[in-house]
Structure 1
Amino acid sequence: MRSTLSKLLTLLLAWAAAEGCRRLRMPVPWMLGPLLATALATMAGQPTRSSLRLRNCGQWVMGASLGLYFTPPVVAQLVGLWWAVLAAVAWALALGAAYGRWLYRSCAGRLRGVSDAALRPSAYFAGAIGAASEMTLLAEREGARTDLVAASHSLRMLIVVLVMPFGMLLAKAWWNLETVDLVPPASAPFAAAGLAWLALFTGAGGLALQLGRLPNPWFLGPLLVAIGLSATGTAPSGVPTPLSNAAQLVIGVSLGVRFSPLFLHTAPRWLAQVALGTLGLLAACAAFGLLLAWATGLHAATAILGTAPGGMTEMSITAKVLQLGVPVVTALQVTRLVAVLVLVRPAYRLWARQP
C-alpha cells in the first residue's frame, strides 16, 4: 500500500513539475520537469518510487511514436547515409575508450579501497557510450566496481539530458530554425481503432524482444515494428500528443529516482572527474557532429544531437519534441547502441593490454 501511494505521489509531483516547465516554456518539459523534480526529491531522502510497468509502457509509446517518422521517402534518404552511421559508431567506440583511459589515469591510486585491477574495467565501462544497465552488467563480468560504473552513467545521463535540450533550443534560435527534416513528415492521423491495432502490433514487438532478452526491448521492439509499418505505408494510426507526453513523464520519473542520497557519497572524486569528462564528451561530440554535418549535408543541429553521448530514448525524444530530424537522430542513436553492446567487450581486451 505504501509503495502504491509513493508511486502515485511521485507521479503527482512529476506532473506538477512538467506543468511548471511547460508554463516556463522549457524544452522537453514533460521529460525534464519530472526528471529534475524526482531527482531532487530522491536525493533529499523523500520516498519516491517508479513503476517498472509504467516505464516500459512509456518506452513502448515512444518507440512506436518515433518509428512512425520513418516514412518511405525518409528511409530512402537514410539508406544513402549508411557510411555516416558507421562513422558515428566508430567515433563512439574510439571516444569512449579514450574517455575511459583518461578517467583511469586521473583516478589511479586516488580512490580509497579501489584496486588497480578493479579500476581499469570500471573506468573503461564507465566511459563506454552505451546503455547504463548493459554496461554495468558487462563491467561486473570483468571484475569492475559496479557502483562506480552505474553512478558514472547516471551522472552522465543527467548532465547530457539537461544540457542537450537547452543547447538545441539555443541552436534553433541561432540558426532561426522551426524544424529540421530530411523530408516533410507524413505520419498517419490519429484513429482510435487504428491506435488499438498499432498498440497490438508494437506490443508484440516489445514482447518478442523481451523474450529474446535483448536490450531495451520495450523501446526497440515497438520502434522496429513501427518503422516497418510506416516504411510500407501501412501504419494504422498516429500517436496522440497527450499519450506521448504521458510517456515522457514516466520516463523522466524512472530516470530521476536513480539518484538516491547515497549517490552523492559515491566516491566524490570519481563523480567530479565523470562530470568534467562528460562536458569534454559533449564538446568532442559536438565537434564531430559539425564535421559529420559538413560531410553529409545534414543540418548541424541534427548531426550534433544524433552523435550526442546521451541515452538513445532521451536523445530521440529531444529530437521529436524540438523537431530536429527525428529519423536521423534515432537511426544514429539506435545503431550506436547495438554496435557498442556487441563490440565493447571485445574492444576491452585490446584496451586492457595498453599501459
Structure 2
Amino acid sequence: MPPAPEGAGSTARALRIGATLVLAGLAALGCRAVHLPLPWMLGPLLATAALGVAGVPVMASVRLRNLGLALIGVGLGLHFSPDVAALILRIAPAIVLGVLWALLLGYLFYRMLHRLHGGDRATCFYAAAIGGASEMALLAERAGGRVDRVAAAHSLRVLLVVTLVPLTLQAFGVHGDEASATAATAVRLPGLAALAVGAAAGVVLLQRLKAPNPWVLGPLLATLLPCAAGLELSALPPGASAFGQMALGVALGTRFTPAFAQAAPRWLAAVAAGTLAMLVVSAGYGWLLGRAAGLPAATAVLATTPGGIAEMAITAQVLQLGVPVVTAFQVVRYIAVLTLMPALFALELRLRP
C-alpha cells in the first residue's frame, strides 16, 4: 500500500472537526427551537456524546476548546462589579461552608462507591471527589488508582449535572435575579483589545505557574480584577458566549466513545446513582444555605451543585442566576478540593488501614 500523502492526516482531522462543529451547531439550533435551556452547550454536548457512543468519529479541536474556555472566563469576569465584589466578601463564610459541603459530599460518595463496587480505594476516592476530571485522574494515577475509571466517572457526573440541572430549573420556572448584570454593556474596541491582552497574559502566567485550568481561571482573574475596581472596559461581541458554550459542549461530548459505554457498566451505574443522590441532597443543602446567607434559593442551589466551574457558571449566566456568586463558590471549591485531596486521602488510609 503506498504511503498516505503528506498532510492527509491533518486534512482528515480538520474535516472531522469541521463536520463535528456543523452537527453541533445544528443540534444547538434544534434545542433552541424547542426552547431547551443552554441550547448552545446542551445541544452539542448531547449530540456529540450520542454520536461518539454510537461509533461516529466525532472530534473536538483543542485550540477551539481553549478559545471557548477563555471566552467563558472573560464573560464571567465581566460580572464582577465593585458592588458584586463587596457582596462576595460579605458571603465569604457561606462560600467556606460550600467548600466543606463539597468535601463531605465527595467523601460520602466515595464510601458509597467503595461499598457498592469495591476495588481499590484510590480509584473510588478520586472518582468521587468534586473536582476536575483531568486533575483528579492525575492524582489517582499518583496514588495507584485506575485513571480510566476516574476519568469516566467525572465525565459521566458532569454530563448528568449539566443536563439535569438546567432542565430541572426550567421545569420549576426559575427566573433570574438582578445580580446577573455585567459591569459593561457596550462593545468598545479599545476595551475589548485590553480584555484580549489581559486574558492572554493570564493564561500564560498560570501556565508558567503550572496552575490548573489556566484557560478559564487566567482570563477570569484578568477580567475580574479591573471590573471589581470599577473599570468598564467592554462587553463581549454578540455570539462570543454561544461560541464558548458550543466549544465546551463539543469538548465534553467527545469524551464519550464506544469503549466508554462498554467499559465497567457496574462502575458507571454506581457513579450515575451516586450523582443523582448528590444532586438531590445538594439541592436541599443549597436551599438551606441560601436562606441562612440571604441569597436567592436558585442561586445558592446552583452554587453548591457538584458540577464544574465552566459548566455551572455558564448555567448561571444563561439562566441569569447570580453569576458572580456561583462563580465564586465554584472557583474556591475547585481550588480547595484540588489542594486538599492528597492530604485527605492519606488521612483516610491512616484511619482505615
TM over 0.5: yes
Shift of 1:302: 0.2
Deviations 1:118-141 (A, max 9, x none): x21100001000011000000000
1:191 and 1:332 mapped to 2: Cα distance? 30
Residue 284 in 1 paired to residue 294 in 2? no
1:61 and 1:105 mapped to 2: Cα distance? 41
For residue 65 of structure 2, what is the aligned residue in structure 1?
A: 55
How many percent of aligned residue pairs carry the same amino acid?
A: 48
Residue 80 in 1 paired to residue 77 in 2? no
For residue 45 of structure 2, what is the aligned residue in structure 1?
A: 35
Secondary structure of 1:248's aligned partner: helix
**Pick from 329, 334, 337: which aligns with 1:337?**
334
For residue 7 of structure 2, what is the aligned residue in structure 1?
A: none
Secondary structure of 1:202's aligned partner: helix
Secondary structure of 2:227's aligned partner: helix
Contact 1:151 1:266 in 2 (8 A): no
Over aligned residues, Cα RMSD in angstroms?
1.2
For residue 137 of structure 2, what is the aligned residue in structure 1?
A: 136
Secondary structure of 2:52's aligned partner: helix
1:239 and 1:246 mapped to 2: Cα distance? 11
Shift of 1:208: 1.1
Shift of 1:243: 1.1
Shift of 1:23: 1.1
Unpaired segments of 5 or more residues in structure 1?
109-115
TM-score (norm 2): 0.94
Q: How does 1:145-294 map to 2 (within 5 A)?
A: 145-171=146-172, 173=173, 177=175, 179-182=176-179, 185-294=182-291
1:354 and 1:101 mapped to 2: Cα distance? 14
Contact 1:290 1:300 in 2 (8 A): yes
For residue 13 of structure 2, what is the aligned residue in structure 1?
A: 3
For residue 303 of structure 1, what is the aligned residue in structure 2?
A: 300
Deviations 1:52-95 (A, max 9, x none): 11111001001001101000011111111010010100111111
2:80 and 2:44 mapped to 1: Cα distance? 28
Contact 2:55 2:257 in 1 (8 A): yes
Report the number of matched residues.
Answer: 342
Secondary structure of 2:113's aligned partner: helix
Residue 321 in 1 paired to residue 318 in 2? yes
2:292 and 2:231 mapped to 1: Cα distance? 33
Unpaired segments of 5 or more residues in structure 2?
1-10
2:54 and 2:124 mapped to 1: Cα distance? 28
Residue 3 of structure 1 aligns to which amino acid in structure 2?
Answer: R
Shift of 1:185: 4.3
Residue 244 of structure 2 aligns to which amino acid in structure 1?
Answer: A
Shift of 1:257: 0.2
Greater Cα shift, 4-13 or 206-215? 206-215
Deviations 1:16-59 (A, max 9, x none): 11111111111000000000111111111111111111111001
Deviations 1:297-317 (A, max 9, x none): 101100000010111100000
2:151 and 2:253 mapped to 1: Cα distance? 14
Q: Kindly report structure 1 stretches of 4+ aligned residues shifted beyond 3 Å.
A: 181-186
Residue 253 of structure 1 aligns to which amino acid in structure 2?
Answer: V
Residue 34 of structure 2 aligns to which amino acid in structure 1?
Answer: L
